[in-house]
Amino acid sequence: MSDLTGATRQSPAPSTPARARRGRPQSQWWTVWVFLMPALLLFLYFKFIPMFAGIEMSFQQVRPFLGNLWVGWDNYARVVTDPRFHSAISNTILLGVGQSVGAVLGGLLLALLLEGPSRVLWFIRTAAFLPVVTATAVVGEIWRIIFFPAPNGFLNSVIGLFGMGPLRYLEDPAIAIYSVMAVGIWQNAPYYMVIFLAGLAGVDRSLYEAAAIDGAKLRHRLLYVTLPALRPAMMIVMVLAAVRCLRVFTDVWVLTGGGPAGATEVWMTRIYSLGFERNQIGLAAAASILLLITSVVLTMLAVYLTRARRVK
């Protein structure tokens, strides 16, 4: 018995397995960088190098084949004192705010109407999202046909049924910018609809049941259950809308080209006109840098306000 006890005491403890190494082997990291390098080089060549070249040209009078002349801050001074640039900024703010508010409200309304697991709703959501994935130039050409100013134009024929006369939607300076605004709302609202649908999917259904038991009406459930739950999605949508409103270009250019008489000229179309029509590349570069700075500041402000609300 004592021999057995001694043998038991002297038996070696089972060896513990060696700790697994953490992290990737060096060869795997090299493989990752080999696959990433082509995309990074293309991004550097087509994004950052032109951006730094634009910053340099914004301080120069660009003269192709003759050599550039350094003019310092003169380009920026000319841009900010240009009356047409002031008009373009006003149109950008009007168009951006109108499109952002309209598209956000439209996206929210679509999300509330089309939420649900039904196959019919799934088909309608898919059809509603088509304007987002359609090229903006194609959308613009379609709406040019819809806005055809003749009495037998599509939209004029529709309003003619209600006794209204034909309108020149894109040729009348008083309503041209609102016609462009309507196209932007129509195209962007389904994009925000998808974000709101993702937010609605995370709402606890028991809250609706409890509100229904308490006798809450539909508007009360919307105000006190749905909208508070959509606050994070709303913040994301507002940040995206704020940045997008400054960079509107394609739909304006395809529909009106900035006309008539500058009534729809926005920041981006003014830059294009300076750089490619008037060949004032230095001025266009300065206006582009100002747009970049404004976009960055606006984005940082929106992110800061979002975080501040989350902290509260």
Q: Which pLDDT tens digit goes with each residue over 266-309?
A: 999 999 999 998 889 999 999 999 998 988 888 888 778 777 76
- Grouping H, G, I as helix, E, B as strand and the rest as coil, residue 72 is coil
272: its two tokens: 């294009």
Share of the chain above pLDDT 90, in %: 40
Tell me the C-alpha distance between 240 and 198, whole Å.
Answer: 16
287, 270 Cβ separation under 8 angstroms: yes
DSSP string, 231-245: HHHHHHHHHHHHHHH
pLDDT for 5 equals: 46
Residues 226 and 288: their CA atoms lie apart, in Å, by 40
69 - beta bridge partners?
A: 61
Identify which has the larger pLDDT, 148 or 244.
148
| Paired residues of 131 in beta bridges | none
Residue 19's pLDDT is what? 47
Q: How far apart are CA 296 and CA 51, in angstroms?
A: 14
Please tell me the predicted confidence (pLDDT) of residue 25. 60
Find the Cα–Cα–Cα–Cα dihedral 43, 134, 285, 67, rounded to 10°: 70
**What is the per-residue pLDDT across 153-198, written as a single tens digit (0 to 9) for each?**
899 999 988 888 889 999 999 999 999 999 999 999 999 999 999 8
Q: Is 90 exceeded by the pLDDT of residue 74?
A: yes
Name the phi and psi angles at 264, rounded to 5. -120, 15
Q: Is the pLDDT of residue 4 over 50?
A: no
Q: For the chain, what are the domain ranges? A: 82-279
Residue 250 burial (C-beta neighbours within 10 Å; 0-12, 13-18, 19+)? middle
Question: How many percent of the chain have pLDDT more than 70?
Answer: 90
Model confidence, pTM: 0.80
Which amino acid type is present at position 32? Answer: V
- Give me the architecture of the 82-279 domain, per CATH: Orthogonal Bundle (1.10)
Query: What is d(CA 107, CA 199) in angstroms, rounded to the nearest whole number?
Result: 12
Is the pLDDT at 217 greater than 60? The verdict is yes
Say whether pLDDT at 130 is over 80: yes
pLDDT band at 6 (very low <50, low <70, confident <90, very high): very low
Mean pLDDT for all residues in the chain: 84
- Least confidently predicted of 2-11, 20-29, 30-39, 136-145: 2-11
Query: Tokens standing for 251?
Result: 């739909």
Confidence of residue 24 (pLDDT cuts 50, 70, 90): low
Looking at the chain, list the stretches that DSSP marks H as alpha helix, in order from N- to C-terminal side.
2-10, 26-43, 49-57, 74-80, 83-114, 119-133, 136-146, 154-160, 176-201, 205-213, 218-221, 227-229, 231-246, 250-255, 267-272, 281-311
Residue type, 283: L
Cα–Cα distance between 78 and 74 in angstroms, integer? 6
Burial class (CB in 10 A: 0-12, 13-18, 19+), 180: buried
Half-sphere exposure of 233 (CA within 13 A, CB side): 23
Q: Is the pLDDT of residue 18 over 50?
A: no
Rounded CA separation 296/293 (Å): 5
| Residue-level pLDDT at 8 | 45
Tell me which of 16-20, 39-43, 187-191 is least confident.
16-20
Residues 75-87, mean pLDDT to the nearest whole number: 92
**Predicted pLDDT of residue 305:** 75
As a dihedral over the C-alpha atoms of residue 288, residue 64, residue 83, residue 94, rounded to 10 degrees, the angle is -30
Using an 8 Å Cβ cutoff, are 84 and 277 in contact?
A: no
| Residue where the block lists tokens 């539909």 | 218
Residues, the chain? 312
Under DSSP, is residue 42 helix (H, G, I), strand (E, B) or coil? helix
